[in-house]
Amino acid sequence: MVITKNNLILFITTVILCLTSIPRAQAGFHWGLGRAASVESAKPIQRENKKQQLNQINQQTEQEQAEEEEEADPEPGPNPAPHHLALLGGNSVQTNHCLTLYLQSHDADNTRCNVAYNTMVDLNDGAGSGSFYLSSADCASQTNAAESAALTVNTSQTTLFYRNNTPESVTLSAIDRTNNGQDLSQSNGSLEVTISQEPANRLTLTGSQNIYIGDCTEYTLQAEDSADTVQTLELSSVIDLSDNNSAGQFYEGNGACLNGTPTIDSVTIYQNQSQATFTYRSFTPETPVLTAVDRANDGQDLSQTNGTITVTVSSPVIKNLGVVIDRYDADTGLAGNLVLNPIDRRPFIEFGYTESGRTFPAFEYYVTTYTVVTCVADAIVTHVNYQASPGDYEIHTQFNADTSWIVEYDHILNPQVTEGQTIRAGDPIGLAGVGPSAQVGRTEIMIFLGGVRPLSYCPLMIFDPTQIETAKQQISDLMSDYETLKGDPSLYNESTMLVPGCHSVNFSD
């Protein structure tokens, strides 16, 4: 039972009236006879007055109690009828971001109210390029775009998401289909939204992932937004470069790289531009991770993702020696294609051999005039040039279109290749060129890295590892057979060679 103020007043009044109606004699008082008679004659009148007072109090109390109960639990009125739709949310969003929207049903007083039926609502953005989604996950992945949404029975709101990757202004609309027993079309849900371009917030690196040692390779650094769209910068940004503690160096461009100086450790993407380039070079076979990191002290942040690219630095591969080398045959005077007898000079001049102040940068062979010279590596023919003196050809091939590594075949007759042609190791280049006699021709095979000062390499230093031991043995046997034939074990100074046929790894002319 709830004790109200009126109930308490009624209780106290009743107690007081009851106490005053008790005879004084019963309360332990002694009255005179005359006074007692007077009191007894007045009792009926007093009781009637008290009864009337009690009735009046009861009536007043019941009325006040009814008024309090009416205030505490007013009579429910009729539910308001849904009248129109409302579309609520922010009025601006950047491209590639999701805008949260609230689709609501409202009554005529613009107050949320529940729908009495499941209500389908069609969605559109006019001529805009965006899409609606029913979940934040779908919006983030841009999957399962929705053209409608539902307000389920006895609800007044559902959440939507909108995404537009094009900077523009759009009008978002929510329209009741009005085929569900109730009409919310008195006013369509509408929202004006401006989509602004998301600024660049990340860096990317592009360029070759496979390079040869010594090559100067250019890489492009770009500023992009989260949708991988290239964006210009509002301010210039300095970007730090690193290669994961590898042995390579960064340069501003190809010229500096070929000169070997100056090196750099950062580049700048300038205001109103979106990219910068740099050149990387390593002389060590390794796998550096090139990384570009925004310094983030220029008022704009490009650190959402650093630019990275993993690069494999390797040597180009020589797959054969270009001519046939075999053990000496005394009957023919040959060691494969090479002429050992009769000849007054060594049939093979090794890489790095010095004679009369000249250091030889190639493998030079003295062979029969009908010897077919073969390609030593897969490559692209870049140069076929006739030499009036001595009257044969010089041919250059490049390992690929992006490298500075060149194989030069000097002293070739009847060339079998043309410029621009792709060749494979073992394909014929032509015949050996003009030599010291009508029976003896010669050819040179030189491997070099182009640049301001070309760097020549010993062919065996970049030889196919599956064939290198065979090649070394062939050259070692050739030198030994010639020394034996001439009876002079000092003709080839093998003690100074790093590998058979090479006195050094490389050198510049």
pLDDT tens string 13-38:
555 555 555 444 444 444 344 444 44
Q: What is the pLDDT of residue 59?
A: 62
Q: What is the pLDDT of residue 75?
A: 43
Q: What is the pLDDT of residue 459?
A: 97
Q: What is the pLDDT of residues 408-463, one digit of tens each?
A: 999 999 999 999 999 999 999 999 999 999 999 999 999 999 876 788 999 999 99
CA separation for the pair 498, 459 (Å, rounded): 12
Q: Is the pLDDT of residue 227 over 90?
A: no
At 400, the pLDDT band (50, 70, 90 cuts) reads: very high
Q: Is the pLDDT of residue 236 over 70?
A: yes
Q: Where are the domains of the chain?
A: 1-21+38-69, 84-196, 202-314, 325-508
Say how far residue 183 (Cα) sits from the centre of its chain.
Answer: 48
**Range 72-90 average pLDDT:** 70
Q: What is the pLDDT of residue 4?
A: 54
Q: What is the pLDDT of residue 25?
A: 41
> Both tokens of residue 444?
């040179």
Q: What is the pLDDT of residue 57?
A: 55
Q: What is the pLDDT of residue 177?
A: 84
Question: Which CATH architecture fits 202-314?
Answer: Sandwich (2.60)
The proportion of the chain whose per-residue pLDDT surpasses 70, expressed as a percent, equals 83
Residue with token string 């959440």 = 159
- 239 and 268 Cβ atoms separated by less than 8 Å: yes
At 336, the pLDDT band (50, 70, 90 cuts) reads: very high
- For residue 308, CA distances in Å to 93, 241, 305 come to 29, 10, 9
Listing DSSP states for 224-273 in one string gives E-TTS-B---SS-EEEEEE-TT-S-EEESSHHHHHHT--EESEEEE-TT-
CA separation for the pair 264, 266 (Å, rounded): 6
Listing DSSP states for 158-183 in one string gives EEEEEE--S-EEEEEEEEE---SSS-
**Range 362-382 average pLDDT:** 97
Instruction: Considering only residues 373 and 63, tell me which one the structure prediction assigns the higher pLDDT.
Output: 373
Give the strand pairing for 422-423 and 237-242. unpaired
Q: DSSP strand E in 330-426: where? A: 334-336, 338-339, 348-349, 354-355, 358-359, 363-368, 372-374, 379-387, 392-398, 405-413, 422-423
Q: DSSP strand E in 12-136: where? A: 84-89, 92-94, 98-106, 119-124, 131-133
Q: Is the pLDDT of residue 76 over 50?
A: no
Q: What is the pLDDT of residue 30?
A: 42
CA separation for the pair 206, 230 (Å, rounded): 13
Helices 5-20/33-72 angle, 10° precision: 170
- 133 and 97 Cβ atoms separated by less than 8 Å: no
- For residue 162, CA distances in Å to 91, 137, 177, 208, 332 come to 12, 12, 20, 38, 86
Of 359, 360, 407, 356, which Cα lies nearest the Cα of 380?
407
Q: What is the pLDDT of residue 304?
A: 86
Residue with token string 């029976």 = 439
Q: What is the pLDDT of residue 450?
A: 83
Rg (CA), the chain: 51
**Range 79-96 average pLDDT:** 88
Q: Is the pLDDT of residue 135 over 60?
A: yes
Q: What is the pLDDT of residue 108?
A: 86
Q: Which of 97-111, 141-155, 157-171, 177-191 has the lowest mean pLDDT?
A: 177-191
**Range 127-145 average pLDDT:** 95
> Both tokens of residue 183?
């009409």
Q: What is the pLDDT of residues 265-295, one digit of tens each?
A: 999 999 999 999 999 999 999 999 999 999 8
Please state the CATH superfamily assignment of the domain spanning residues 84-196 in this structure: Immunoglobulins (2.60.40.10)
Q: What is the pLDDT of residue 180?
A: 64
The Cβ of residue 306 has, within 10 Å, a number of other Cβ atoms equal to: 17
Residue with token string 């590594």 = 405
CA separation for the pair 165, 145 (Å, rounded): 14
Q: What is the pLDDT of residue 27?
A: 42
Question: Which CATH architecture fits 325-508?
Answer: Distorted Sandwich (2.70)
Same topology, domains 84-196 and 202-314? Answer is: yes
Q: What is the pLDDT of residue 39?
A: 42
C-alpha torsion 430→435→441→442, nearest 10: -70
Q: What are phi and psi of 341, to 5 degrees?
A: -155, 130
Of 375, 368, 387, 373, which Cα lies nearest the Cα of 435?
368
- 231 and 197 Cβ atoms separated by less than 8 Å: yes
Tell me the CA end-to-end span of the chain in Å, nearest whole number.
Answer: 113
